[in-house]
Amino acid sequence: MNLKDARILVSATSYGKNDPRLKTELEAQVASVIYNPTGKPLTSQQLAELLQGVDGFIAGLDVIDRAALEKADRLKVIARYGVGVDNVDLAAAREMGITVTNTPGANSVSVAELALTLILSLARQIPEAVSAVHEGKWPRLGGLTLENKTIGLLGLGAIGKQLARRLQGFDCRIMAYDPYADPNFAREFGVELAGMDKVVATADFLSLHLPLLPETRLLVNAEFLSKMKKGAYLINTSRGEVVDEPALLAALESGHLKGAGLDAFAVEPPDPANPLLRLPQVIATPHLGAQTDGATSNMGWLAMKDCLAVLRGDEPKFRVA
């Protein structure tokens, strides 16, 4: 189609925040652009109302289900601003002839940096230290060095690889499990590939870099946590649904695990009464792994380019469905 006739919906709330050119260039190429009026992910009903008459959709973490897509009378492409597509009804999209794309690797550096930040913050009790000093205290908090510790990575895709690169200077042992691991990368960066059970049982810090799939949902359950090394730390910058939160709470309260760094929860935002949030050994962040200038700009450009490519009749670079 002629892009000058196209109407685009952008629901990703950080689109263009760090690079205004994303908005000006998109607006210059199409007939009109509708931006998310709520400032947060859209519900199915909200999305259904906005999709009518829209040709292209640059999508955030909205509920993109069959009910919403049935109202999309002209939609040709859903360009996910991010990697995960678990919030998209792919079967419905295929039935309706809607192309789905994503932006793999766009946020991998930023998420890896946050995972490393959480590891170091847990190791050195940074939140407790900052809070104490602000209260006029001067405690001698004991910390851990990463030197000679084992960092376990579940998932050695784009994000896991970036974290492994950043761990090189800490003189730690890096172990990883990934069913599709790149052995050449592992050799180059000194990553020891092993089975999941061995990585889980050996790691002092276990960092999750897993997609949300039927086989990974609630993977980190009571049985899984019982296999972790006593006194170990769990870091999750992937998806909240990968972790059984009641089981994690029990492992922390019993002392089996020493702490956790969580950037994702099963329900977001989590209920303030979520008991994990009252534990001082839990560092919780608001799913901000991809919320950096570099990541949001990368995701924006990749999503926009694939969205416009499909509308022009070209093959997108990162087709999912």
What average pLDDT does range 237-244 have in this prediction?
Answer: 96
Which of 291, 295, 289, 230 lies closest to 261 in space, CA to CA? 289
Give the pLDDT score at 84.
83
134 is catalytic: no
**Active-site residue identified among 287, 312, 315, 319:** 287
Strand order from edge to edge, sheet including 7-10: 32-35, 7-10, 56-59, 77-80, 99-101
Asked whether 16 and 295 are in contact (CB, 8 A), the reply is no
Asked whether 78 and 269 are in contact (CB, 8 A), the reply is no
Number of alpha carbons in the 13 Å side-chain half-sphere of residue 301 = 12
CA–CA distance, 192 with 173 (Å, rounded to integer): 8
Asked whether 270 and 277 are in contact (CB, 8 A), the reply is yes
| pLDDT interval class at 83 (50, 70, 90) | confident
241 is catalytic: no
CA–CA distance, 78 with 153 (Å, rounded to integer): 31
| Residue 65 one-letter amino acid | D
Residues 6+ apart with CB under 8 A from 114: 237, 263, 285, 288, 289
Strand order from edge to edge, sheet including 150-154: 191-193, 173-177, 150-154, 205-208, 232-236, 257-262, 282-284
**Active-site residue identified among 66, 268, 278, 312:** 268
Q: What is the pTM of this model?
A: 0.86
CA–CA distance, 319 with 74 (Å, rounded to integer): 19
* For the chain, percent of residues with pLDDT exceeding 70: 100
CA–CA distance, 319 with 321 (Å, rounded to integer): 6
Render pLDDT for 52-76 as a digit per residue (tens, 0 to 9): 999 999 999 999 999 999 999 999 9
What average pLDDT does range 181-192 have in this prediction?
Answer: 97
**Active-site residue identified among 80, 173, 209, 239:** 239
106: which DSSP letter? T
Asked whether 112 and 159 are in contact (CB, 8 A), the reply is yes
Cis bond before residue 270 (omega within 30° of 0): no
Mean pLDDT of the chain: 96
Give the pLDDT score at 250.
98
Chain centre to alpha carbon of residue 131: 28
Which of 175, 115, 180 lies closest to 149 in space, CA to CA? 175
Render pLDDT for 287-315 as a digit per residue (tens, 0 to 9): 999 889 999 999 999 999 999 999 999 99
268 is catalytic: yes
Instruction: For each of the domains in the chain, give its residue range(s) and CATH number, in order of start.
Output: 3-105+293-312 (3.40.50.720), 108-284 (3.40.50.720)
Q: What does the buried/exposed string (b/e) look like for 110-141 if buried means 16 or more CB atoms within 10 Å of the residue's CB?
A: bbbbbbbbbbbbbbbbbebbeeeeeeeeeeee
What average pLDDT does range 224-252 have in this prediction?
Answer: 98
